[in-house]
Amino acid sequence: MPVEVLEKGLELTDFYEPTRRQYNANRLLKYMESMVNSNEFKSIGLFHVDLFIPILTFIFGQAIFNGNTGIASVYRLKNELYGMLRDENLLFERFVKVIIHELGHTFGLIHCHVPTCVMRPGTYVEDIDQKKHHLCPKCREEFEINKI
């Protein structure tokens, strides 16, 4: 599929929760969904802010299952946040995996238990580091069945 990158500014004040000092991913995702052009196949909003949902301390990304919209944030993927040296290559790898994972949800894929599958849930950056950039055979088959 062709990919189009659009850089748009978005005022995030309405999504900020001062008590948590984070951004509400549920509200942000809902807003992104409302902004998606019906001609777009899939859209992922990329952010640099700390995201949360009410039941979790933080998240790396979120998507609408079988939908066409997702979000991902690089914020919690940075080594510096965990007292390690900055590593731009590792940051990029992690972000790509989160984006692919969220896109997988938009195609109807659920979380997988195979440790290296990109659809494995990731609670910590170490979980993301263990994954590959691709689907396991089972998820790949499911994707082939569900894709348009």
Distance (Å, whole) CA 29 – CA 70: 6
Is 102 an active-site residue?
Answer: yes
- Active-site residue, selected from the candidate residues 4, 11, 102, 142: 102
Which string of DSSP letters, residue by residue, matches the chain? Answer: ------------GGGEETTTTEEEHHHHHHHHHHH--TT-S-EEEEE-S-EEETTEEEESEEE-TTSSEEEEESGGG-GGGGT----HHHHHHHHHHHHHHHHHHHTT------TT-TTS--SSHHHHHHS-SS--HHHHHHHHHH--
What residues are annotated to the active site?
102
